Amino acid sequence: MNTDVSADVVTQAREWAAHDPDEASRTQLLALVDAAAADEAAAADLASRFVGPLTFGTAGLRGAVGPGESRMNVAVVTRATAGLAAYLDGALDQPARVVVGCDARHGSDAFYDATTQVLSGAGAQVIALPRQLPTPLTAYAVRALDADAGVMVTASHNPPADNGYKVYLGRALGGEDGVGVQIVPPVDGLIAAQIAAAPPADEVARSAANVTPAPADLVDRYVARTAGLRGRTEASNTRIVLTPMHGVGGATALQVLAAAGFGDVHVVAQQQQPDPDFSTVPFPNPEEPGAIDLALALARDVDADVVIALDPDADRCSVAIPERDGTWRQLSGDEVGWLLGEQAATDPTRSGDTLACSLVSSRLLGRIAEHHGLRGATTLTGFKWIARAPGIRFGYEEAIGYCTDPESVKDKDGISAMLRVATLVDDLARDGRTIPDALDDLARTHGLFATAPLSFRVDDLSIITDAMARLRAADVTELAGSPVASVTDLAHGSPELPATDAIILTTQADDRVIVRPSGTEPKLKCYLEVVVPVPGSDIPRGVAQERLRRLGADITAVLGL
């Protein structure tokens, strides 16, 4: 036997295979065990599949698809669902009603089947959504159908090899502010404990007896609700280029746009249909360099007014616009958040009095709220926190996630965000104005805010730990030429926020840097923001960009990366 494969790993693998209910997965794993005896690459691959169970947390499960305890597979999903069912059974006085949906990734169909059947086998009443629908439809269904919980099988914008499993709660367990919102502590820990106590996957009961299809008109109701956000139905002259990024949002997005009066829509044909291999992009995230190149090329060809890119499960939305000189520019998540925040703040038909964003998003949303007599709220990162802001009217995070209709979907929703952006472009055009004009207006009113991300991807997580330790030990006195006014370490929380591994540095010039490890990737992330006064009509964007460059260089030096 290859010395790189321990007997314990081989024993674990064979034991796992003995209880794997998926024949294809079981066969693949046993073949890998045999190959590992003579092949170093196979040995390393086998060992990587048994480095510990895939952790269930506030993001649910997410990982590469394949056999083994450290991968996403039918066995892992089966035990996770058994744990969820046990939690719901213990927390409710009656059988749980659970909505289940899935995207089109590798494994999604099998994971969807396992989820519905295990819940049914445990006595829950399962409401099965049609397959290959956007994640916002699952969040919508939990609220619209007054379900006790929801499960969405998706890995959002992760690489093609991945899949995932996220959980929402209804009113009985989520509370009034958490209806249709993803789980937060301590619920994740309670579910994880039940998963750990679940029997082997092949011993978990499965049944279809309690599985019923979702109401036939559910998608139509979502489409009508979302299309109605425009406020009128007459035909718009706005020309839109749309890409669903090989995901499941295309059909629903087109239905919404058509119902709202946006008929001049051009879809990127190469990316229109679901494709689990995401064949035209190296990484299916609209924020990644090159991801929207096909959409931009189409926009130039058809002389579009706006480009909208949905991520693969359509819970996030990226926007690109033509500048005054005819060049195209992709807006940052913060810029879209400012525009939609201003739109929400000035719309008297909206309910709620709070504009909410994550800690690492721009502070300008709070200024917009204050300017319009509304409340600004800052939360921890992630929509599981943003959506829980009491009285939320609008919420966003800089990672292109927007909650624009919290009464309907209390989560990020790329399709409703798409509709809000299209409406904004259309409304501005009626007054002979554009998105750049609206951004200039915000700068003249509040000062020029400019943000930029700075990330360090690592192979060794200790590099991140060491960098955070260096930052905590450093005496940082100046950033981008301005004295540091405050350093806040959130390791133990603050009066406004619970504890999280993040450090905030602000300067006398009101610039800010937030440094934190990513919660989903092996990255150390820095969020840079500068604020430049705008004393006249000219917008000093060049000054802001140079300040951002200096800010990034200075914090990089402090981190030693």
CATH code of the domain in which 246 resides? 3.40.120.10
Task: Give the tokens for residue 330.
Answer: 């992709």
Same domain, 82 and 8: no
437-445, Cβ contacts within 8 angstroms, sequence gap of 24 or more: 438/339, 438/342, 439/335, 439/338, 439/339, 440/539, 442/338, 442/339, 442/342, 442/364, 442/368, 443/534, 443/539, 444/534, 444/537, 444/539, 445/371
Same domain, 320 and 422: yes
For residue 4, what pLDDT is reported?
61
- Indicate the average pLDDT of the chain: 96
For residue 521, what pLDDT is reported?
77
For residue 522, what pLDDT is reported?
86
CB 105 within 8 A of CB 155: yes
Catalytic hit among 156, 318, 361, 416: 156
Can you tell me the distance from the alpha carbon of 549 to that of 452, in angstroms, rounded to the nearest whole number?
Answer: 9
Same domain, 68 and 18: no
Can you tell me the distance from the alpha carbon of 549 to that of 165, in angstroms, rounded to the nearest whole number?
Answer: 38
Same domain, 400 and 289: yes
For residue 449, what pLDDT is reported?
98
In a domain, 40, yes or no: yes
Q: Give pLDDT tens digits for 17-64.
A: 999 999 999 999 999 999 999 999 999 999 999 999 998 887 799 999
In a domain, 416, yes or no: yes
In a domain, 364, yes or no: yes
In a domain, 218, yes or no: no
Same domain, 366 and 434: yes
Q: 474: domain range? A: 447-559
Same domain, 458 and 541: yes
The alpha carbons of the chain give a radius of gyration, in whole angstroms, of 24
Same domain, 431 and 454: no
CB 105 within 8 A of CB 166: no
Told to judge if 207 belongs to the known catalytic residues of this protein, a careful annotator would answer: no
In a domain, 8, yes or no: yes
Can you tell me the distance from the alpha carbon of 224 to that of 229, in angstroms, rounded to the nearest whole number?
Answer: 9
In a domain, 324, yes or no: yes
Domain end point (choices 388, 414, 443):
443
pLDDT beneath 70, residues of the chain? 1-4
Same domain, 314 and 242: yes
Q: How many domains does the structure of the chain reveal?
A: 4
Q: Could you tell me where the beta strands, DSSP code E, fall in 178-302?
A: 181-182, 211-213, 240-243, 265-267
Domain end point (choices 443, 462, 484):
443
For residue 281, what pLDDT is reported?
95
